[in-house]
Structure 1
Amino acid sequence: MRGIGLLRRAAACPSCGTSCRALPSTRTSVSRFSSSPRLWFSSTTRVNIGDPPLNVEGRSPAMMSGKERRWRAVHNRAELPKTPCRTRFAPSPTGYLHLGSLRTALFNYLIAKATGGQFILRVEDTDQTRLVPDAEERLFADLKWAGLSWDEGPDVKGLYGPYRQSERLDIYNQHTDKLIEQGAAYRCFCSPEDLDAHQRAAHTRGGATAYPGTCRSISPAESEERAARGDPFAVRFKSSPEPVVAQDIVFNRFQKAIPEEDFVIRKRDGYPTYHFANVIDDKLMEITHVVRGSEWLVSTPKHVELYNAFGWTPPQFAHVGLLVNSNREKLSKRHDGVNMTWYQDQNILPATLLNFAALLGWHSTRTNDVMTLQDLVKNFTFNFSRGDIIVSFDKLRFLQEKHMRLLIDKDPPDAPLLSQYLLRPMVTSIVQAEARRVILPPTASPYAKPPVQVESTPDSGSSNTAADLLDNISAQHEPTPVSKSPDPVVEEPFAGPLVPALQSSQPVERLTYLLAVLRATRLPDPDIAEYILKNKYLFWKIRKATLSQEWDKARKTFKRVTLNGVLTPPRDISKFLVARFGSVPEQDWTLEVLGPLIKTTVQQIQYLDLKTDAIVPNGGYLFLRIALQAMLPGPAISQVMLTLGRHETMCRLIRLAEVFQWDVKSRMKPTLEETIQAAIMSPIQNHPTTAAAAAAATTVPKSV
Structure 2
Amino acid sequence: MRGTSLLRRPWRPLTVCSSCARRVSLSVSQRRLRNFSSGSHFAAGADVQALESRTLWKRPKQREERQTYELPDTPCRTRFAPSPTGYLHLGSLRTALFNYLVAKATGGQFVLRIEDTDQSRLVPDAEQRLYEDLRWAGLSWDEGPDVQGPYGPYRQSERLALYTEHADKLLREGKAYRCFCSPEALEEHKRVAHARGESTRYPGTCRAISSEESDERAANGQEFAIRFKSAAEPTTVRDIVYGNYRKKEAEDDYIIMKRDGFPTYHFANVVDDRHMKITHVIRGAEWLISTPKHAELYHAFGWGPPKFAHLGLLVDEQRQKLSKRHAVADMGWYKDRHVLPDALLNFAALLGWRGVEKKKTLGLQDIIDNFSLKFTKGDIVVPMTSLDYLQNQHLRRLCEDDTPKSKALFESHVLNPLKRAIKLFESARTSGDGTTPDGTIVPPFGERFATVPLLEDERFRPDLVESVLSAKAENNQTPDLAARFPVAVSHLKAFIWKIPHDVLKASLAQLAADTITLHGAPARLDQVMSHVIENLASVEDDAWVVDRLSQELQRMEEPGEGKAHMLLKILRRALLASPNGMPVGRAMVILGKDETLRRLEAARLAAEETAVPAGRAVPA
Q: What TM-score results when the alignment is normalised by the length of structure 1?
A: 0.74
Greater mean alpha carbon deviation, residues 237-246 or residues 618-627: 618-627
Q: Give the gaps of 5 or more residues in structure 1.
A: 1-13, 18-52, 440-482, 504-508, 607-613, 663-693, 700-704
Matched, 1:510 2:460: no
Task: Assess, with a 3 A threshold, how the Cα gap between structure 1 residues 389 and 16 changes in structure 2: closer, same or farther.
Answer: farther
1:649 maps to which of 561, 578, 596: 596
CA deviation string 1:204-250 (max 9, x = no partner): 33222221222222222222111111111111111111111111110
Is 1:426 the counterpart of 2:381 in the alignment?
no
Structure 1 position 294 matched with structure 2 position 285: yes
Deviation at 1:15, TM superposition (A): 6.5
Which gives a bigger RCO, structure 1 or 2 (Cα 8 Å, sep 6+)? 1
What is the aligned length? 558
Instruction: Assess if the C-alpha contact under 8 Å between 1:88 and 1:119 holds in 2.
Output: yes
Deviates more, 1:229-238 or 1:543-552: 543-552
2:190 is aligned to 199
| Residue aligning to 2:332 | 341
Secondary structure (helix, strand or coil) at the match of 1:437 reads: helix
Moved more, 401-410 or 418-427: 401-410
Give the TM-score normalised by structure 2.
Answer: 0.84
The answer to whether the 8 Å contact 1:405/1:523 transfers is no
Output the amino acid matched with 2:570: F
The equivalent of 1:129 in structure 2 is 120
- The corresponding residue for 2:48 is none
Look up the match of 1:395.
386
The CA distance in 2 between the partners of 1:311 and 1:379, in whole Å, is 35
Check if 1:416 corresponds to 2:408.
yes
Alignment-mate amino acid for residue 697 of structure 1: A
Confirm or deny: 8 A CA contact 2:85 2:126 kept in the other structure: yes
Contact 2:350 2:359 in 1 (8 A): no
Shift, 1:424, TM fit: 1.5
Q: Which structure 2 segments of 5+ residues have no match?
A: 1-11, 16-36, 41-51, 472-481
Q: Distance in 2 between matches of 1:223 and 1:555?
A: 101
**CA distance, structure 2, for counterparts of residue 326 and residue 491 of structure 1:** 36
From 562, 581, 594, the equivalent of 2:549 is 594
Q: Deviations over 1:391-416 (max 9, x none)?
A: 23222222222222222343346232
Q: Which moved more, 1:117-126 or 1:515-524?
A: 515-524
Cα distance in 2, alignment partners of residues 435 and 205 from structure 1: 69
Alpha-carbon distance in 2 for matches of 1:86, 1:569: 77
| Closer/same/farther in 2, CA of residues 497 and 237 from structure 1, 3 Å limit | closer
CA distance in structure 2 between the partners assigned to 1:65 and 1:212 by the alignment: 49
Q: Distance in 2 between matches of 1:136 and 1:519?
A: 35
- Report which stretch shifted further, 303-312 or 74-83: 74-83
Maintained 8 Å contact 1:356/1:395 = yes
1:95 is paired with a residue of what secondary structure? coil
TM alignment of 1:27-426, pairs within 5 A? 64-366=55-357, 368-412=359-403, 414-426=406-418
Q: Which residue of 1 aligns with 2:507?
A: 550
Which residue in 2 is equivalent to 1:584? 539
Is residue 2:456 matched to residue 1:535? no
Partner Cα separation in structure 1 for residue 39 and residue 126 of structure 2 = 52
Contact 1:432 1:489 in 2 (8 A): no
SS where residue 319 of structure 1 aligns? strand
- Would the aligned equivalents of 2:284 and 2:310 in 1 still touch at CA under 8 Å? yes
Aligned to 1:495: 446
3-state SS of the aligned residue for 1:292?
Answer: strand
Residue of structure 1 aligned with 2:568, choices 577, 600, 621: 621
Query: Within 1, Cα distance between the matches of 2:553 and 2:104?
Result: 50
Q: Percent identity?
A: 46
Q: Secondary structure, in 3 states, of the residue corresponding to 1:247? A: strand
- Structure 1 residues 593, 522: CA separation in 2 closer, same or farther (over 3 Å shift)? farther
Residue 698 of structure 1 and its aligned partner are, at CA, apart by: 5.0
Per-residue Cα deviation, 1:406-448 (whole angstroms, up to 9, x for no partner) = 2234334623222222211212222332332159xxxxxxxxx
Q: Which residue is equivalent to 2:27?
A: none
Give the conservation status (yes or no) of the 8 Å contact 1:520–1:643. no
Instruction: Look up the match of 2:7.
Output: none
CA contact under 8 A between 1:517 and 1:538: conserved in structure 2? no
Alignment partner, residue 558 of structure 2: 604
How far did residue 619 of structure 1 move? 2.1
1:71 Cα deviation after fit: 2.0
2:256 is paired with a residue of what secondary structure?
strand
Q: Could you tell me whether the CA contact under 8 Å between 2:452 and 2:495 is conserved in 1?
A: no
Displacement of 1:650:
2.1
2:34 paired residue number: none
AA aligned to 2:586 is Q
Could you tell me how far apart the structure 1 residues matched to 2:231 and 2:487 are?
Answer: 65
Within the alignment, does 1:563 sit opposite 2:518 as a pair?
A: yes
Q: Following TM superposition, by how much is the alpha carbon of 1:16 offset from its aligned partner in structure 2, in angstroms?
A: 9.1
Deviation of 1:628 after TM superposition, in Å, equals 1.6
Deviation at 1:605, TM superposition (A): 7.5
Structure 2 distance, partners of 1:489, 1:295, is: 44
Q: Which amino acid aligns with 2:446?
A: A
Contact 1:605 1:618 in 2 (8 A): no
Counterpart CA distance in 1 for 2:316 and 2:577 is 46
Distance change (3 Å), C-alpha of 1:267 and 1:367: closer
Output one character per residue of 1:177-199: Cα deviation in whole Å (capped at 9) or x when no partner.
11111111111112222222322
